[in-house]
Each structure stands twice: as C-alpha cells, then as structure tokens.
Chains A and B, each alone.
Chain A
C-alpha cells in the first residue's frame, strides 16, 4: 500500500533499530525518509533535506527533543511539521507541547503514525 502524497520525512532517533524499521516502513508507504541519530545530525540533515515532517524522539544523546524542535523552528528556513514519537508520556512536568504539531507515544500504531504524518 502506498500513498499518493509523498512526504520528505526526517526520523530522529538514537535507537538504530527503531529508526531503520521506521525508515523502511515509510519507504514502503511511498514517502522519502532520512535518518539522524543525534540532534546535531538532524539539524545538519534538515538544512539540506528540507523535510516536510520530522519525527523526533525526546530522549536523544546530545540534546532533548524539545531543544531540537525549538532549534528546527527557529533556525531552519522552512521548518518542518514536528511529530514527537516517544516512550515518555505527554503530561510532563512543564507540559509545553506547543513545539510539536503532534505527540505519539511508543509503541505507535503504524496506521496512526501514517495518518498523523498526512494530517499535520
């Protein structure tokens, strides 16, 4: 099954297994994914790749997902829509989720993930 809409999707997750599987899934679904394992790498790739959507984990080795989302929104010429995909629950202490266009909790249902990418 493929979509008629092809999105450039940047996957940011330090877990190689998770990011590779997600990348493969998105390719099968007709999208164009790229993978970054750190926040710094994500910003570098995003500058050239200009993703439509970034799927961002919150726990990253060099910066947290909030800091990365903030950097993307403020430094990229064309900021992507940002979807948080994390094992952390949404109701964190400082619960400001305005940096994200959607929040999905792991394990995410693939159909839900795909629908979210097309919706944001």
Chain B
C-alpha cells in the first residue's frame, strides 16, 4: 500500500479510536484523549493528502462494508488537497478544543465535554476526510450524510445554554438535508444514465451523454454543493449555525467543511462531467460574485463577532467560486493555461481561507470564553488583557482583509491576474463578464478591509465597553497553541506561497483533466506562466517591515530629542471620558450602511412613551436598529409561511377518526387501481 493509503487508513483508525475514547473515557481525561486522537488523525490526514498531492494515489474497494454497493475509496491530487486542508484544520481545532471544553470562571457548566459531543468530533473529522476520498456515488452520499449528521450534533452541543442553538440547528438540518436531496437526485440520475456508479464508470460514460442530461446533472448537484459552501442565496444556515456552534466546531465547519462544497463542484463538474458548456461556469461565476458581495456587505454591518466571521466565509467561498467558475469557463473556451491559473488561484484562496478562518474563529472563541460575549459593542480593551489572542486575531484579520503582507493578498492577486489576462478577447461573454468579476473582487477586497478593521479595532483595542471585557483573562495554553499553529500556517502561506503552488497546480490539473502545468512558478518571485506578471510576497513583506521599523525609529528619535511634558488627556475639561464615548461596531459601519442602504435595507424602530400628564413630556424612548438578512426575509419567509399554511390545511384532514383514515386508505387504493387500469 502506498504512503497515501496507509496514512489515510491510520487517520481513519485514529479517528475511530478517538471516538471510542470519547464514549468510554471518564470526564476528566476525555477531552485530552479525544484531542490527542483527533490531532494525530489530522496529522495522518495531512500526510495522506500531501502524499496524494505528490502523485502517490491509492484506491480501495471494500465490497462488504456497505450492503448492495460496497465502499469505494480513491485519492488523487484533487482529493488529496482537500484531505490535507481538512487534516490541517482538524489538528488546530483539536488542540484548541482540549482547552475550550475545560470548565472556566466566566461561563458555568461544561462547554461540551459530554460523551456524545466528544465522540462526534473525531467522527466529523473522519467524515470530512472521507468525502474527498469517496470514489463512487453511494460512498460519497453516505459519507456526505455522515458529515452532515455529525456536524449537526456538534452544532447542538450548547443547546441547553441558549435557545438560539436549537433554531440554528433546525435551519442547518433542513438546509443540509435539502442539499443532500438535490445532490442525491443529481448523482443518482447521473449514475442511471451512465449504467454504473463508480466514478471511473461515470467519467467514461459522461462523454457520450446528451448536453441536456449533463447540464441537468450539473445544475442539480451545483445547487446542493453550493448550499454546503454557503453560497448566496443558499447561505442562510451559515450565519446561524456558525455563531451558535462551539468555536472549534465553527472553525472546522467554516475552514474545512464548506470547502467540500467547492470540491463537489470541481469533482462533478470538471472531473466527472469533463467540463461542459460555458453557461455552467458562468452560473458558478455569477453565484460566486453574488456571494462575495452580499457576504462582505452583511459582514461589514454585523455586530456579532462570530456572525461577522460566518458572513466573511460566504464572501471567501464566493471568491473561490469566482476562481472555479473562471477556470471552468476558460477550460470550456479552450484556453487551458488561463484555466489552470484561475483554478490555482481559487484553490490557493481556499487554502488561505482555511488558514485565516481557523485563526479567526479560534480567537473569537477565546474572546467568547473569556468575556462571555460575542457582541462587538460590548467588547474592547482586550489588547492588554489578552495580548496573545489579540496578536493572533490581528494576523488573521490582516490575512482576511487581503492586504499585503497577508496571505489573502497573494491569492486575490492571482485571481485578479487570471481575470484580467482573459481580456484581450473577441468573445462577447468574456468581455462582459470578466471586467465585472474584477470589479466585484476589488470592491469585496475594499469592504473586507473595513470589516476587519472594525472587528479588530472595536473588538480588541481601546477601552472595554462591558463588564465581561473588563474581567477578561488570557486563554489556556492549548487554545493559544491551536490558534497559533494556524497563524504560523498563515504567515508561511503569506511569505512562501511557492511551497504549496506546485501541489495546487497538480490538483487543478487533475480537475481539468490535463497534465500538471505549473501556472505560477518561481521560488521567491511568483511569475505567471504564459503571461506577463510577477509579484514577490516575501520581498513585499520585507519591504513593509523595513518601512514600518524605519518609520517607528524615525518617530522615536524625534520624540526623544525634544523636551516632553506629561499632560492630562484632553477631555474638553469635562472630566473622565467613559467607554461609551468610543466608536462602536455599529457607529463604525454606519457610513457604509448608509451607502448600501438600498441593498441592506436596515430596519430602525423608535418607540416614544409620553408621560401620563402630557403628550409633550417624554418618559422613555426606545430605539432599535438592526440589519436583517434580506434574502432570508424575501426568499425564505414566504416559502416557510406557505409550507405552514399547507401543513395547517392538511391538519384538517386528520381529525383522529379511525373510520376516516380507513376511508383514505380505501379511496387511495381504488384510485390507484383505476389510474393503473386507465394508463396500462
């Protein structure tokens, strides 16, 4: 057996062992055992994924494991990439989880160190490792459902503490199962048309199918995979489930699970169906552009820290979808080099997003655990109280805002390059779509800066705005270690993306069905293959560092030379300034909210209560402002209301009378017989 195969087997074995430990071990040692097992499984997953990226593929056929179909597993470079990313995120999340579930002073009760929750964590990781390795329709659907169920149980971990958890889990359960349903429909239809369900058979049969069948398969599966990736308008579960799940679960879901939606699109669309028409990929690109814009617009006005991060996930998955859509589109138009570049850029952004979103969700969890609050308007002043967490969040925020020297900048630069180099073209669709996509990426990057300046500046700097933030303490070492590992990965990806780019090119090559072409080369300076364009992340980082150090030294030398007088902070002579005078997350985002008023449709509600004596004397004024998710209100509420109406009407049919039920059975049976008699 190859390295990839044995490491993958070890990863699954360790996950199973950790799950057993979670069920059997006593409460005192349970988190440690589960954490260690999951970490080891994650490391083995990374080894397997990297080995598969390097070309060491493996496949397995276990006919007896599942009745009727059996289990078919295979790892190629494309699956290997997702296994490696999932494994790396699992390592960070598992190390972090050990400290997170330990009892602490701020929040009473356990944080999810119960048997069920602890056993679910390694199972969830194993399911996410299995999805990219599944090599037949039935295997993929089973592990996909396993992943959905385990993550659903993990989202429910804190349901006794907050009522909102139950609602979030309901949304998630319904959305993920509707997603499964359409994937099931699409893939079963595909398998029926191909007369076989292993991926090899599907791949061989896809070429002979009519474009209509292939298009239908792609469109239905895209719907399911896009809902898993949190792409607008199927994102509604994401800003609910991510904030309510324990933070290490949020990190796993947001950094690893949503990626598998992208994997599904790549596997089915590019690999199994072998490309296809342009409209498929224009659809993917449009969905990506819509989610990137809508996600970041909601993130910029969000006040809940974890909700903000969840919307940022929607945004980043949108950017990845833009890369994937552009890659597929270029492949369909015949420009292979450009397709490789766009897809590599998309995949690099996916890897980068996994890195920084792990950092951000883990540090947000540290803040939540230390202060008991996710509300940015109640945070602040954490720089002196939680210095390490603040530094880690700053690294994540820099990466997420796509500014140099963060790692997000590299992938967005590559993405923009691939879109821009498509332009000297005669095709109308390309000439219209690509400039629009460039504009979307640019606007998204700008709004992301505002979002993360807000999250970091309001959440961590200045003075504490609430009692929780005032009494915050630094997190335990294991939480810092888990977050720190991810932060180190971010820094490494920022200065040396060339280390992962060959692997990504191979994964893109596997998806596109072409030989591996390094679309970006060069160890320090990244150069595009076939196009003019180069950029050196390392040199940019060094130059920025030198400039910052130089500016600081200059200011310092100036300050030291002049006589200094210590004076009281100028407070207009009125006495001490309070924390309430500071900028809040709401006030920081207000100008942007006003600019995008028509899109966001914020709701404000003023309620004035006059005194009993006179209508002109005011006793109380209540002001409420919120920015609801407009898509949810416009798209989902009417559907939910209609479903409820149908359900309530149907309730009238069942009045509890046995005679009536027998009558229904009788009439249905005879009706069926009549129908059969007529149509036969």
- A complexed with B: no
